[in-house]
Amino acid sequence: MGSPTVAVSAPGKVLLAGGYLVLDRAHHGLVLGLNARINVAARRITTSPGVQLTEIIVSSPQFHQGQWRYGFHLAGDDGGITVTQLRWSGIVLTICPFRDTKQ
């Protein structure tokens, strides 16, 4: 059935020594990981049988309006997966009032 939710985290960093020098392969930098981390959980979106969604939802629930939705499709010529951001709230009506054209 659906794969279980998985989660991965990665630490922030501080470049303690080697600012600017680290841009150059002749030099190096001393970088420390920090215990402030970004955590990401991934899970499958379950759909009804026969329905296939090609969508990725990315949520950042600590913030207002923290959600992005993306559609994806396979590009030709070995061009990989192309990702397009979708309108986040489902239906978005675009109204063009007449007064705009008079300005």
Partner 1 sequence: MKPNPFVEATLTYCLTYINKCLHLRPRHSLTAAHLTILADNDYYSNDPTKSGKGRFASFHTTISKAPKTGLGSSAALVTSLTGALLAHYLADSFDLSSADGRRTLHNLAQIAHGAAQGKVGSGFDVAAAVYGSCIYRRFSAEMLADLPEPGAAGFTARLETLVNTDWDGRIKDFALPEGVAVRMVDVHSGTQTVGMAKGMLEWRRKNPVRATELWWGLHGLNIFLEQQLRTVGGSLEHVAETIARCRAVIRVMSKESGVPVEPPLQTELLDRISAVQGVYGGVVPGAGGFDAAAIVMQDDESVLEEVRKCCESFSKTHVKVNVMRVKGEMEGARMEDVAMFDAWLTN
Q: How far is the CB of 96 from partner 1 (least distance, A)?
A: 22
Least gap, CB of 49 to partner 1 (angstroms):
13
CB of 33 to partner 1, least distance (A): 4
Minimum CB separation of residue 99 from partner 1 in Å reads 27
Nearer to partner 1 by Cβ, of 24 and 103: the residue is 24
Q: Which is nearer to partner 1, 26 or 95 (by Cβ)? A: 26
Among residues 69 and 98, whose Cβ is nearest to partner 1? 69
The residue behind tokens 């192309």 is 82
Answer yes or no: are the C-beta atoms of 55 and 67 closer than 8 Å. Answer: no
CA distance 51 to 31: 47
Query: Cα torsion at 72, 74, 78, 82 (round to 10°)?
Result: -20
The H-or-E segment that residue 101 falls in is: helix 99-102
Q: Choose between 61 and 97: whose C-beta lies nearer to partner 1.
A: 61
> Are 4 and 41 within 8 A, CB to CB?
no
